[in-house]
Amino acid sequence: MSEPKVFLLPDLGEGLTEAELVNWLVSVGDEIRVDQPIAEVETAKSVVEVPSPYAGTVTQLHGEPGQTLDVGKPLISVLPVGATAPAPVVETVETKPAETGAADTYREEEKAGSGNVLIGYGTPGGSGAARRTRAPRAVVSASSTDDKPVVAPDAQKAADDLLLLRTRVPGKLGAVISPLVRRMAREHGVDLGDIHGSGDSGLIMRKDVEAVIHPAVEVSAGSTTERPVVEPVETQWAVDSRTGLGISSRTPVKGVRKVVSANMSRSRSEIPEATVWVDVDATALVELRAGLKKSDPHNTPGLLAFIARFVTAGLKRFPDLNTRIETAADGSQEIVGFAGINLGFAAQTDRGLMVPSIRNADKLSARELDVEIRRLTAVVRDGKATPEELGSGTFTLNNYGVFGVDGSAAIINHPEVAILGVGRIIDKPWAVEGELAVRKVTELTLTFDHRVCDGGTAAGFLRFVADAIERPTSILADI
């Protein structure tokens, strides 16, 4: 008889301490192999598939979608191939009359089978692994032939399981997933059993509970009778004491937004930043690309790829901007330089702002940079970027011109020491050889860490990139 092996959530890179469980890829009772993906977790701005280090039968899933798990805590339990499952443990639970019905309903659902898997429970008919009905330690009595007490589960975990039973919709196992939805229903006295979920397979969503808490009404003309309306309206939970306004929503800061918030706050608190900017005549670069596109419509780099090439060339001449500051335990600091450039670039996605980095970008041509920019943009928008692709940059290029703005004092992507922003390219009046002309003009903005260099270095780098944009043909011939 063998005990299941417990796989702990590993550090998925960059010293992460937690991850949000997005989706299970296996169920209790499934036979899995070594390195088979078992779950998707969101961490460091990406959705990562976690592989199993064990082969065997899944006996327990230690979490549910939407839950934040700490690194080093149990993720999944697997009974090794060929091992014998432990004998079932009989635990007597003294339930209150009001709780017995819910527990019985749950057991009937378990016998019936379901594709949805809960913590510690699974679809019957799989591996035959032992299942246990958990209850608070105080109400579990010993039941064994040798009179040795049965070790009860952790009290808090048992309480969570009872909460699941109480909020489970009869006949719809797994119809309530989000802890936020269950808490909202509990706080407002909403019976989840009376709600038909609007999500997939009857999944009860937050908006379903809010609709019960604040039902919309419509008063017909000439009548005082109120009746429900079909069209959804904005709901309010409470009135804010400071502003006197109704609170329309509460959004937990987690996942991507949590990572961005922590990183930006650290950048502002630790880095004494300064900003320099310059307007640039980009007409020659726009015309160069237009000419290349005529001769090769399908293999012409985008403008951002050309600017990225100018940036890597500029960083070679001004390497202070391609560094990082490290602080030792005794408070001493070092400026760490790199033998290469990993160029990060900001990409907007449905899950927030991502900054993937092109590794060894200084060794790539404009065409090769364009290929990597397109590839990494697609990867992050699909949520499949690795921690290495998202956390290895040494300098960031931010094209905020795509949002239709001219300039921005960007926040440095910690632990880097500088970020270059590019505004939109628009027609503006410009003096050319003493004559006023309409030119394609953009604004470059460089925000830098004043601890690693002074304004002269920052201005020199910015002027180099600006000159390259204004005279791309001659610069490309030299880099």
Spans of all domains in the chain: 5-167, 179-247, 256-476
Residue 438, burial from CB neighbour count under 10 angstroms (0-12, 13-18, 19+) = exposed
State the pTM of this model.
0.57
Contact criterion met (CB below 8 Å) for 436 and 406: no
| pLDDT top residue among 19 and 429 | 429
If phi > 0 it is left, if psi is from -120 to 50 it is alpha, else beta; for residue 56 that is left
Whole-number pLDDT of residue 87? 53
CATH class of 5-167: mainly beta
Confidence of residue 216 (pLDDT cuts 50, 70, 90): low
**Residue among 156, 113, 107, 151 at smallest CA distance from 133:** 107
Under DSSP, is residue 191 helix (H, G, I), strand (E, B) or coil? coil
Higher pLDDT, 237 or 337: 337
* Average pLDDT along the chain: 77
Question: Does position 116 have pLDDT exceeding 70, yes or no?
Answer: no
d(CA 226, CA 219): 5
Q: Can you give the pLDDT at residue 478? A: 76
**pLDDT-derived band at 218, boundaries 50, 70, 90:** very low
What does the pLDDT look like over 60-112, one tens digit per residue?
Answer: 999 999 888 888 899 999 999 877 665 544 444 444 444 444 444 434 433 33
Over residues 239-265, the mean pLDDT reads 79
Its sign, for the CA torsion 280, 283, 284, 290, is positive
Please say if the pLDDT value at position 388 is more than 50. yes
Q: Which residues are catalytic?
A: 450
- Report DSSP letters for 321-387, one per residue: GSEEEEE-TTS-EEEEE-SS--EEE-EEETTEEE--EETTGGG--HHHHHHHHHHHHHHHHTT---H
The fold of the 256-476 domain, in CATH, is Chloramphenicol Acetyltransferase (3.30.559)
pLDDT recorded at residue 313: 96
Residue 149 has pLDDT above 50, yes or no: no
Residue 234: CA count within 13 A, CB half-sphere: 7
20: tokens are 């949000």
Identify which of 287, 279, 319, 301 has the alpha carbon closest to the alpha carbon of residue 424.
279
pLDDT digits (tens, 9 = 90+) for 284-322: 999 999 999 999 888 899 999 999 999 999 999 999 999
Q: Give the model's pLDDT for residue 435.
A: 94
* Rounded Cα gap, residues 114 and 368, in angstroms: 49
Confidence tier at 15 by pLDDT (50, 70, 90)? low
Tokens matching residue 437: 């002309």
- Give the number of other CB atoms < 10 A from CB of residue 59: 24
* Positions of E strands within 92-164: 92-93, 140-141
Tokens of 191: 């019976």
CA–CA separation, 8 and 74 (whole Å): 4
Written as one letter, the residue type at 153 is P
What are 189's two structure tokens?
């006295």
How would residue 200 be classed by pLDDT, with cut points 50, 70 and 90?
low
Winning range, highest mean pLDDT, from 48-52, 170-174, 385-389: 48-52
- Segment 20-58, tens digit of pLDDT: 888 899 999 999 998 899 998 876 556 778 899 999 999
> From residue 4, how far is each of 28, 60, 74, 134, 149 by CA, in Å?
12, 9, 12, 18, 21
Higher-pLDDT residue of 151 and 340 is 340
Q: Cis ω on the peptide bond leading into residue 51 (within 30° of 0)?
A: no
What phi and psi values does residue 150 have, to the nearest 5 degrees?
-80, 130
Highest mean pLDDT among 62-66, 244-248, 356-360: 356-360
The confidence score (pLDDT) of residue 186 equals: 73
Superfamily of domain covering 179-247: E3-binding domain (4.10.320.10)
Name all contacts of 284-292 with Cβ < 8 Å and 24+ positions apart.
Answer: 284/469, 284/470, 284/471, 284/472, 284/473, 285/469, 285/470, 285/472, 286/425, 286/440, 288/472, 288/473
